[in-house]
Chain A
């Protein structure tokens, strides 16, 4: 009996390892394809071979062609490339943040928005749009271009830090209090947003509405460069959080028994998530459903262990966001659908379908 089982077991673990390699490899391939599609597709469709040529030329130096060739060059390098890079950062950051928050809250329905990043960012954004008009003249041009993003980032981060501070007592962060403080502060921020929208002109409220729906439309290298460090911080921190989040799935006391510094884990997770999501929301507004659905999908295929779940979520989030952005550009071309609308339109029914399927399986 024991002989038979000990022979069978290595095959199973081998299968788990190969599942990891195959799963993450497939997702990485999907990211490459989605990234390339984001460069090729749009109101002006450019053949993949030409996109490749433009990319190679940009790296090696010699520039060919004028007229139509130059136009394609500008579209690929100055419009679509920064947009795709920013999209990759936002997709990876949002989905990874969702997976980490679900681990910290020990709840598969947790969302990065729970710690108040989005309502805080929205309040700061509308404040900038409505009240910042006069400020615009005082700011240097570089800052004026990204003022809205900076305001949203600072607003999101401050709200999260305030919520985390409220949830802390005697050096211990209560996740239940965090949740309630997040709800209360989120409601207050939304009320403030409502007051400002009420005060706003029609033009301003329209600008704010589009900001809340999310879009990669305004992507520039400057915005991308501003968001990158925060998303990278999240990506770099995530492998160090994996074991702790696995242990935390058994409970806070159990994680401590296994040698995890639980309080430190929670604080680091909240800070890197707030920075990463804050940067993503600041760069392109609120992208719904990505942080909730993507980790869920990865869990169904690669299992619940965070060592695979975290990189898997980052990869799938990137691919999904890039493809959603391609869809947003194509569906109503030459106009663009808001990106948040596309992710919610695809994500929400898909999530319902998953829930229905699961209930079916469970009987």
Chain B
């Protein structure tokens, strides 16, 4: 269990998060949606241990997050950042193997190739990272965090934190990332993903959190959270929600009148 209780974060007099509570449960994909500046990335950073909460607490496996060393934390959770720049000319294999600690060289080679295949980049190991497209790079980092969680050294499956993992991907690979997330929870792990695409969010989430101005507006099963009223409140966009067999289906009602009062 990975949870935050009554967390408030204030930076230069502005409340980025106020009184936010959230629990990542094993076997569940939690998706966070909300407009720009709603505090989604801040929430992920606090959960990752990268940013300190000014009030409230974050607990991992029943212990406060501040009690974890960076190494112990890395064995329990992995983070896919929105954007990662690699400073030197690393190969793809070198970037992925950063997530594999303590494996022998022969094992490393095999594991790297398996992981690259899992993110649909087979045979990319020897390529220069800097020669890859944005979407390919993002999938290299997905392979790296999968490596980190699988070799984490703890027996319980870990927690995966994804910050807009689909942002630079084509449709097929957006679905691939969500399949990877679903596969991770199927083995007993937990996932938190920040997503902008509401259809993908509704399709992949077990638990949906809608945020606005640093607060949790609503949370629960997608069908309960993804309502016209809540969408209008959060995004200021009048939208109608249809429940189709596979899950909710979201369509904005007009483009021109996008910014409604609210």
Contact = CB atoms under 8 A, between A and B. Distances in A.
Interface of A: 1-2, 5-6, 8-10, 12-13, 17, 106-108, 243, 246-251, 253-254, 256-262, 299, 303-305
A251 B84 CA distance: 7
A243 B49 CA distance: 21
B81 A256 contact: no
Contact of A253 (B71, B81, B88, B105): B81
B74 interface: yes
A197 B90 CA distance: 46
B94 interface: yes
15 contacts: A2-B122, A5-B113, A10-B106, A13-B93, A13-B106, A107-B87, A243-B101, A246-B90, A248-B87, A249-B88, A251-B85, A254-B79, A258-B74, A258-B99, A262-B70
Contacts of A258: 74, 98-99, 148
A254 B73 CA distance: 13
Chain B interface size band reads: 35 or more
B113 A305 contact: no
Interface in B70-111: 70-75, 78-79, 81, 84-91, 93-95, 98-99, 101, 105-106, 108-110
B246 to A, nearest CB: 30
Which 4 A-B pairs rank lowest in CB-CB distance, beginning with the nearest?
Answer: A259-B74, A304-B88, A13-B109, A106-B87
Given A12-B109, A250-B87, 15 more contacts: A5-B113, A9-B110, A13-B109, A246-B98, A251-B81, A257-B79, A259-B70, A259-B71, A259-B73, A259-B75, A261-B71, A303-B94, A304-B89, A304-B94, A305-B94
A15 B117 CA distance: 21
Contacts of A247: 98
Interface of B: 48-50, 69-75, 78-79, 81, 84-91, 93-95, 98-99, 101, 105-106, 108-110, 112-114, 117, 122-123, 125-126, 145, 148
Given A257-B48, A257-B81, A259-B70, A299 B106 contact: no
A258 B117 CA distance: 22
A267 to B, nearest CB: 14
B105 A254 contact: no
